[in-house]
């Protein structure tokens, strides 16, 4: 039985991710009743829609959390992905989906909407096979599952778009694997959101698989050439070689682009397949195309580039939390055991106005740099990315001037933010422990006091040895950083 749209409650999982964050915004803009399921509510409090949704804090791996999140929900959007969780991500995804579907059935949910990937080629990658298997696992109960399968999503901040952008910008001559000539069916993020939002308004539940793609079918090489043209670059020379396997290609992409090798590997694996929508799975009869038509590739790229140029990127692929190393997952020793805390604390007092100092602190990282010793930061990022398989330094930042809680910042994540007063960053580089970098600004007797503190909770003897090994570099990095923040703030004043 259908329910009037205005009385429906929607659950969006993956709300801290690239698509989920944008979907929440579109639903909220139409005054829908939206609940989100997130592991850590503080990571989305910086979103402009955070105060307009019902936040359910919990994990999709916890049955009790899912029962709580799905209570009273009419339509649940399943936007969870586990490709970063190691070689068994497909099994993890399948089990999570089954648990979610069973919880949805217990809660009386009418419709599950799942965003997967086009998987029609016989030569299917493990990544795309896993996405299809997730859809099958969701469909193991009586709850109707509407599965929307998309190809490459083009939009500012998507992992696929970042791969395309950086490969094209940085390599005028490319030796590429032969898969760059495979056909793909890209779709603009705006059109993906159009279909997801339309799925939320259907009168009766739908239990089918649909392929969604834009108006063009072309190769990845064609997209790179279109991107080069729109960016004012010369035509790229693309030389195909047969020896670049998906594994080698992902290492190459990890070297050239901000997308980590661990994330690039399943994305590249998908490109070995022909990712083209099947006309037999067309959604047009159920959800007609937008009146103005679907966005073609050139316009989708132009829209994405304009968002980047005007600093209007809403969400990024790196917004979702990266999995931590085993020693970082642990919460440390219990309080009674006295967890070790190692600190490097610096402070200074200046006559520069506090608001000018804060402007510089909030601009830290990304293309703005780290206020000196940038080579050392770069070297640490290289070690993290290529020696330890971490995220590295090239994730950059969403906006050059403003931060929000939960977003990535190079190999940090914004842990806490009190604008004008305090910024606390959590390290997502691979470490034998947990690390934070914190800045606080206050006014005392008409002067501005700045406190900069690096904190490290070592994991075992190895963690302590690591801290003392890098301590000499702290004498160069941290005083220089604090001094240059004041210097830059003074010049801006």
pLDDT, one tens digit per residue, over 443-480 is 999 999 999 999 998 887 788 888 888 888 888 899 99
Are residues 283 and 373 both part of a single domain? Answer: no
pLDDT band for 440, please (50, 70, 90 cuts).
very high
Are residues 400 and 315 both part of a single domain? Answer: no
Q: How many separate domains does the chain show?
A: 2
Six-digit token string for 230? 């729109």
Are residues 255 and 401 both part of a single domain? Answer: no
Are residues 310 and 408 both part of a single domain? Answer: no
Whether the per-residue pLDDT at 438 is higher than 90: the answer is yes
Are residues 414 and 351 both part of a single domain? Answer: yes
Six-digit token string for 440? 């606080």
Q: How far apart are the first and last CA of the chain?
A: 63
Residue 24 CA from chain centroid, whole number: 15
**More confident call, 460 vs 18:** 18
Are residues 271 and 338 both part of a single domain? Answer: no
Of 289, 319, 349, which residue sits at a domain end?
Answer: 319
pLDDT band for 433, please (50, 70, 90 cuts).
confident
Say what angle helices 374-382 and 460-492 make with each other, to 10 degrees.
140
For range 419-428, the mean pLDDT:
92
Inter-residue contact 250 to 224 (CB < 8 Å): no
pLDDT of residue 310: 67
Secondary structure element (H or E) that encloses residue 406, with its range: none
pLDDT of residue 27: 95
Looking up residue 134, the CATH number of its domain turns out to be 3.40.50.720
How far is 187 from 223, CA to CA, in rounded Å?
12
Of 319, 346, 362, which residue sits at a domain end?
Answer: 319
Whether the per-residue pLDDT at 318 is higher than 70: the answer is no
10 Å CB burial of residue 48 (0-12, 13-18, 19+) is: exposed
Residue 307 CA from chain centroid, whole number: 16
Are residues 153 and 288 both part of a single domain? Answer: yes
How far is 12 from 378, CA to CA, in rounded Å?
37
**More confident call, 383 vs 117:** 117
Strand pairing class (422-427; 412-418): antiparallel
Are residues 333 and 458 both part of a single domain? Answer: yes
**More confident call, 324 vs 266:** 266
**More confident call, 235 vs 177:** 235
334: phi then psi, degrees, rounded to nearest 5: -60, 160
Q: Which of 14, 154, 18 is nearest to 77 (CA)?
A: 14
pLDDT of residue 119: 85
Give the C-alpha distances (Å, rounded to integers) separating 198 from 156, 210, 280, 311, 324: 22, 13, 20, 28, 36
Q: Please tell me what DSSP assigns to residue 384.
A: I
Residue-wise pLDDT tens digits, 388-421:
666 766 677 888 899 988 888 888 889 889 999 9
Of 298, 319, 340, which residue sits at a domain end?
Answer: 319
For range 57-64, the mean pLDDT:
88
In which domain, by residue range, is 330 found?
326-492
How far is 128 from 82, CA to CA, in rounded Å?
12
Give the C-alpha distances (Å, rounded to integers) separating 324 from 2, 328, 390: 43, 6, 9
Lowest mean pLDDT among 91-105, 303-317, 336-350, 391-405: 303-317
Whether the per-residue pLDDT at 422 is higher than 80: the answer is yes
pTM over 0.75: no
Are residues 384 and 272 both part of a single domain? Answer: no
How far is 56 from 41, CA to CA, in rounded Å?
8
Whether the per-residue pLDDT at 312 is higher than 70: the answer is no
pLDDT band for 263, please (50, 70, 90 cuts).
low
Looking up residue 455, the CATH number of its domain turns out to be 3.30.530.20
The chain-wide mean pLDDT, for the chain, equals 83
Are residues 292 and 357 both part of a single domain? Answer: no
**More confident call, 109 vs 237:** 109
Edge-to-edge order in the sheet of strand 9-13: 54-57, 33-38, 9-13, 75-78, 111-117, 144-150, 208-212
pLDDT of residue 336: 31
Are residues 252 and 385 both part of a single domain? Answer: no
How far is 303 from 290, CA to CA, in rounded Å?
17
Are residues 330 and 312 both part of a single domain? Answer: no
């Amino acid at each position: 039985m259908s329910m009037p749209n205005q009385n429906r409650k929607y659950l969006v999982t993956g709300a801290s991710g690239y698509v989920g964050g944008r979907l929440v915004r579109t639903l909220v803009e139409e005054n829908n009743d939206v609940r989100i399921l997130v592991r850590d509510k503080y990571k989305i409090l910086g979103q402009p829609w955070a105060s307009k949704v019902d936040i359910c804090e919990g994990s999709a791996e916890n049955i009790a959390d899912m029962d709580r999140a799905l209570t009273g929900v009419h339509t649940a959007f399943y936007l969870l992905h586990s490709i970063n969780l190691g070689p068994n991500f497909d099994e993890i995804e399948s089990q999570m989906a089954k648990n979610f579907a069973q919880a949805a059935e217990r809660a009386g949910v009418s419709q599950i909407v799942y965003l997967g990937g086009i998987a029609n080629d016989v030569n299917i990658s493990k990544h795309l096979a896993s996405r299809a298997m997730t859809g099958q696992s969701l469909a193991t109960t009586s709850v109707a599952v509407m599965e929307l399968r998309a190809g490459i999503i083009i939009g500012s901040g998507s992992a696929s778009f970042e791969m395309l952008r950086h490969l094209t910008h940085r390599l005028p001559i490319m030796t590429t694997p032969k898969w760059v000539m495979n056909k793909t069916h890209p779709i603009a993020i705006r059109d993906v959101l159009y279909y997801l939002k339309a799925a939320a308004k259907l009168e009766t539940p739908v239990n089918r698989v649909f392929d969604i793609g834009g108006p063009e079918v072309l190769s990845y090489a064609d997209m790179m050439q279109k991107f080069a043209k729109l960016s004012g670059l010369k035509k790229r020379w693309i030389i195909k070689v047969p020896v670049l396997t998906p594994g080698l290609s992902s290492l190459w992409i990890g070297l050239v682009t901000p997308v980590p090798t661990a994330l690039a590997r399943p994305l590249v694996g998908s490109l070995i397949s022909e990712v083209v929508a099947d006309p037999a799975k067309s959604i047009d009869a159920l959800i007609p195309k937008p009146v103005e038509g679907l966005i073609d590739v050139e316009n989708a790229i132009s829209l994405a580039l304009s968002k980047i140029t005007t600093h209007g990127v809403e969400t990024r692929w790196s917004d979702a939390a990266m999995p931590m190393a085993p020693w970082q997952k642990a919460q440390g020793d219990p309080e009674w055991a006295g967890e070790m805390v190692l600190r490097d604390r610096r402070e200074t007092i200046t006559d520069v106005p506090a608001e000018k100092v804060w402007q510089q602190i909030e601009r830290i990282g990304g293309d703005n740099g780290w206020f000196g010793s940038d080579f050392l930061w770069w070297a640490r990022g290289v070690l993290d990315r290529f020696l330890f398989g971490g995220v590295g330094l090239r994730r950059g930042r969403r906006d050059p001037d403003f931060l929000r809680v939960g977003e990535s910042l190079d190999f940090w994540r914004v842990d806490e933010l009190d604008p004008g007063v305090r910024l606390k960053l959590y390290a997502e580089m691979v470490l034998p422990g947990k690390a934070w970098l914190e800045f606080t600004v206050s006014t005392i007797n008409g002067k501005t006091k700045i406190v900069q503190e690096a904190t490290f909770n070592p994991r075992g003897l190895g963690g302590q040895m690591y801290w003392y090994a890098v301590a000499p570099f702290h004498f160069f990095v941290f005083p220089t950083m604090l001094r240059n923040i004041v210097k830059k703030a003074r010049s801006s004043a």
